[in-house]
Amino acid sequence: MSPYSVALIGLIIGNLAASLSDVSVKMLAGEVSAFQYMFLRQLISLLIILPIWLRQPSEQRVLLNTSMTALRAHLVLIGSGCMLVAITYLPLATANAVFYAAPILMLPLSMWLLKEKPSSTKILATLFGFCGVLIVLRPQNFHWAAGFALVTAFTLALFNILAKRIPKEQTVITTLMWTSLFSLPIAAILASINWQPMTWVQLGWIAVSALLVLSYNGLAVMAYQRAAANQIALAEYSGLLFVVFFGVMWFDEIPDMLTWVGIGMIILPLLPKAHQLKKRNKKNLINASN
């Protein structure tokens, strides 16, 4: 399997986890402060990843790019807090519509920070897919919380782009462990100022969210280290399909015809790339047989 295929599949699975995390956050119903959520989620993430990190050989536990990992840790912190506010005060579909601005933001960021040069076709395909997101989710209730959703989208895009700056020798487990650890001091200070009693159910939803986001972060690091950001950014839209499915399964939200048109617009730009990969693999098999 090619690095591109591995990256694409990993990113799609990661978006499934991220979509389920959004559902978990929505279940908190705004009864937990953003700062408290940020601290507990990162603490739980650290407790989950620490035993796995310790089982690695000593040379794999070494942090190779401290400043970049610390920067990405605080991007996670900012994004998670803003995400909680956005999902709490906006309909889930509206918040997700703004979150899906992340792949669009990744194009200029990859050009600026990574010096990548996406083709005009890739740019148009991404814009086409983003229009599909707007058609499917049709955000209609924009107010001040939409700004928090936009910040989440920006931090997500920057988080993924900066994964390219992490040496490939640094394992995903090591990256996740140090990312969680670096985010804790500021999160703990902010949470202590606004601490309030919690139920076990609320703590459970935060734990589920932490596990799912940790899964997304790990898969995103793996994906963006193996393929150019502008090649796989469209896979971020796969979360849209999961959101639609969850709406049908759990909230009895049956997609109408316009929704399916939007989904088609999102999937369509991925088809040419899949066709090219199929032709390339077929050609390689023929050459190998000769």
Query: What is residue 288's predicted lDDT score, i.e. its pLDDT?
Result: 40
Most confident of 1-10, 143-152, 192-201, 278-287: 192-201
Distance from the first to the final alpha carbon of the chain:
20
Q: Phi, psi (5° rounding) for residue 4?
A: -60, -45
Cα separation, 19 vs 39, whole angstroms: 21
Residues 137-151 pLDDT 10s: 666 555 677 788 888
Query: What is residue 274's predicted lDDT score, i.e. its pLDDT?
Result: 47
pTM as predicted = 0.73
Query: What is residue 290's predicted lDDT score, i.e. its pLDDT?
Result: 39
Q: Parse the chain into domains and list their residue ranges.
A: 3-289
Residues 8-51 pLDDT 10s: 888 889 889 988 988 898 888 888 888 999 999 999 989 999 99
Cβ neighbour number for residue 13 with a 10 Å cutoff: 16
